[in-house]
Structure 1
Amino acid sequence: MNTITVAGSALTDLVKTIDAYPQRGMLTDITAVRQSVGGCVPNTAVDLKRLAPELCVTAAGRVGKDAFGAYLRERLAGEGVRAAFAEDEKRSTGFTDVMTLKNGERTFFHARGANAAFSADDLPEEALDCDLFHLGYLLLLDRLDAADAEYGTAAARLLHSLQRKGIRTAVDTVSAEGGKFRRIVGAALACTDYAVMNEIEAAAVTGVPLRNGDKLIAENLKEACRALFKAGVSRAAVIHCPELGCGMDETGNFCVVPSLDLPRGYIAGAVGAGDAFCAGMLYAFMKGLPMEEGLSLASLCAACNLSSDDSVGGARSLAQTLALEKQFKRRKL
């Protein structure tokens, strides 16, 4: 497999570094502002293209007829990513104000904009000419999250149609709680080959508890992966969190790879770290790598991301990414 389409949420991020998060009604200083691409589509697409320039990567979504939309097209073209964006005459391009503390902690103020209207009708033929189709983020794509009488959601109908054409499917989501999350994500998983999500999302969709306060319940990770397969995932279920990445393949093989033990001062930000991890796993799926090797690469991609305060500034080539394995040790679990 050498062609991949990343579709869904396309944003412009305004990354604002602040001294402290203020109490309501109080003031804090913004010490730096940087504009960057954001959302699953540009983040994951750029990460993939830098990791493996030989891949044909298409970014598909919906943007406004505005400066942010033009910025996304220009940035993607500069990275060698093919943009296949529908243009919305009424809605603005989605954007996020990312309020970032110097320790990497961040808070998001998000405007969905044109992403809310993105649908299967926006996908041109070239976006469907792919080996692997990755969709994200579920729960932020209103038209695709909408109910469908036959498949549960419009997203599930789209994924099902792609699978019937022989295209492998992958999904990503955002963290949320409650029945809405389980309904929307659960419907999509029934038509998904590869699922990649964090521990909060995996717990929400499977009902398997994975954290007790700040403590990871590591002994439940295997059960959660099994539950994702029971929900319909057919080839690989992957869960990532700050401490580790774990996954199960279609044979039932389960493995865990600890995250890198990064030194104090290395982390400049965590915007897009999950997308970077996902890009590493998508590369592994496309190349047919064993689960453990894929998890190792994905954790290195995430570590590269953490070295920058924006979503793609830390993305590197495969050789440069793999070099981190020799530079840092892994955590002890």
Structure 2
Amino acid sequence: MNRAAAGAAAPDQDPAGTEPADQPAAKAASGAPTVVLLGDVMTDLVARLAGPLVPASDSPARISVEGGGAAANTASWLASLGAHSVLLGRVGDDAAGRAAANGLRAHGVETRFAIDRQRPTGTVIVLVEPGGERTMVPDAGANEALTADDLPYDVFTPGAHLHLSGYTLLRPSSREAALAALDLAHEAGMTTSVDAASVGPLETAGAERFLDWIDGIDLLFANQAEARTLASAAHSAPPPIPATDQSPATIHRLNSVSAARAIAEHCGLAVVKLGAFGALACSSTGDYEYVDAVPLGADVAIDSTGAGDAFAAGFLKQWLTAPSLAEALRSGCVLAARAVRMVGARSVS
């Protein structure tokens, strides 16, 4: 892969972004993996609707302000599991940016943020339906201006892992930074993972181009819709696997195995999140592992915001510590279930 090299940290790098030795970096469990994450830092305005959204009228809701951003959420969950979590990103020179950094550090995340003097910290309006499904209305803000010059060289070290939020790749203005981070990670001998992020931006950017950008990474996370879109763009997508058992769970699983096998030609491992039907991982050899979802019980789902980010954290912590696909998938499902049961996208521990 021929990607732009990153420069040194920008002059407007947050002087408080690198913690002293007695701060979060030292709180990671002994022998825990180091995960460098690159992606969005957002403020979530979460509106939990009491009923269906009523266009051109009032729709009562309970509204709260939460920490957000896919990479930031995964970083928080990883830190809660004892990993050394280092988050790279860009925030505004505003109260929201300072609150984001302070909140993440309080949860054990080492933050290495560039400060944008012109754009505000990103914000997303999250509309949560009574059943827990969410719709997002994002304003990327400072995230949109992330550049390769915002990447600090010193975090790209052998033995660490890079996890990249797909939003950074899908957004044209920050794509150079994402590709530069992947280059730096490969040059350092780090393992790498990417989350496909969201099917709408993925289709807009082009699934075939996305597969080219991530070609050669170790691990790709995608939900069912993202996996279908990526599989359709793969040149050698295999046909669906016939199922003798016609239950919804079996059909979802086998269709997703077919999609994962196509995607895995571009990465070492494709992990597909199936929501209530569990999760699976498929290697480039075509072998796959599947686990069931963690049962939530009737009417338990509160807010699905960040469930996929939590899943990635659970999977990565287990996979980087003791590579067992089944255990990594179970760990991801357990953390995703915890995320769904709470309001907001971040770990509260």
Coarse TM-score class (shorter-chain normalised): 0.7 to 0.9
1:133 equivalent to 2:162? Answer yes
State the 1:252 CA deviation.
4.2
The number of equivalent residue pairs is 300
What corresponds to 1:323 in structure 2? Answer: none
State the 1:7 CA deviation.
0.8
CA contact (8 A) 2:290 2:326 kept: yes
State the 1:128 CA deviation.
2.4
Picking from 12, 29, 35, the partner of 2:60 is: 29
Give the direction of change, closer, same or farther, for the CA distance of 1:303–1:272 in structure 2 (3 Å limit): same
CA distance in 1, matches of 2:273, 2:99: 30
User: C-alpha deviations, 1:218-244, integer Å up to 9, x for none?
Assistant: 3222222221221x202x210002111
User: C-alpha deviations, 1:83-112, integer Å up to 9, x for none?
Assistant: 101011111111111111232122211101
Question: Kindly, what percent of the aligned residue pairs are identical?
Answer: 27
CA distance in 1, matches of 2:175, 2:179: 9
For 2:166, what is the secondary structure of its paired residue? strand
Picking from 297, 303, 309, the partner of 2:343 is: 309
What corresponds to 1:201 in structure 2? Answer: 226
Give the direction of change, closer, same or farther, for the CA distance of 1:229–1:302 in structure 2 (3 Å limit): same
State the 1:140 CA deviation.
5.0
1:257 equivalent to 2:286? Answer no
CA distance in 2, matches of 1:282, 1:126: 22
CA contact (8 A) 2:66 2:344 kept: yes
For 2:132, what is the secondary structure of its paired residue? coil
1:207-222 correspondence runs (5 A): 207=232, 217-222=252-257
1:142 equivalent to 2:172? Answer yes
CA contact (8 A) 2:261 2:284 kept: no
For 2:295, what is the secondary structure of its paired residue? coil
Picking from 183, 192, 200, the partner of 1:160 is: 183
State the 1:193 CA deviation.
1.1
For 1:178, what is the secondary structure of its paired residue? helix
For 1:49, what is the secondary structure of its paired residue? helix
1:238 equivalent to 2:271? Answer yes
CA contact (8 A) 1:145 1:184 kept: no
CA contact (8 A) 2:252 2:274 kept: no
Give the direction of change, closer, same or farther, for the CA distance of 1:79–1:126 in structure 2 (3 Å limit): farther
CA distance in 1, matches of 2:183, 2:107: 30
CA distance in 2, matches of 1:8, 1:291: 25
RMSD value, Cα: 2.3
For 2:131, what is the secondary structure of its paired residue? coil
For 1:193, what is the secondary structure of its paired residue? strand
What corresponds to 1:42 in structure 2? Answer: 72
CA contact (8 A) 1:169 1:194 kept: yes
State the AA in 2 paired with 1:239: V
CA contact (8 A) 1:229 1:237 kept: yes
What corresponds to 1:113 in structure 2? Answer: 141
CA distance in 2, matches of 1:184, 1:15: 32
1:169 equivalent to 2:196? Answer no
1:174-189 correspondence runs (5 A): 174-176=198-200, 178=203, 180-189=205-214
CA distance in 1, matches of 2:173, 2:102: 26
Structure 1: gaps of 5 or more residues:
147-153, 317-333
User: C-alpha deviations, 1:107-133, integer Å up to 9, x for none?
Assistant: 211101111111222111343246101
CA contact (8 A) 1:156 1:187 kept: no
User: C-alpha deviations, 1:47-76, integer Å up to 9, x for none?
Assistant: 01112x2x2111110110111101111101
- TM-score, normalised to structure 2, is 0.79
CA distance in 2, matches of 1:163, 1:56: 20
Picking from 43, 65, 78, the partner of 1:12 is: 43
Structure with the larger strand share: 1
State the AA in 2 paired with 1:24: P
State the AA in 1 paired with 2:161: L
Structure 2: gaps of 5 or more residues:
1-31, 241-247
State the AA in 1 paired with 2:101: R
CA contact (8 A) 1:84 1:127 kept: no
CA distance in 1, matches of 2:140, 2:214: 23
CA contact (8 A) 2:39 2:164 kept: yes
CA contact (8 A) 2:261 2:283 kept: no
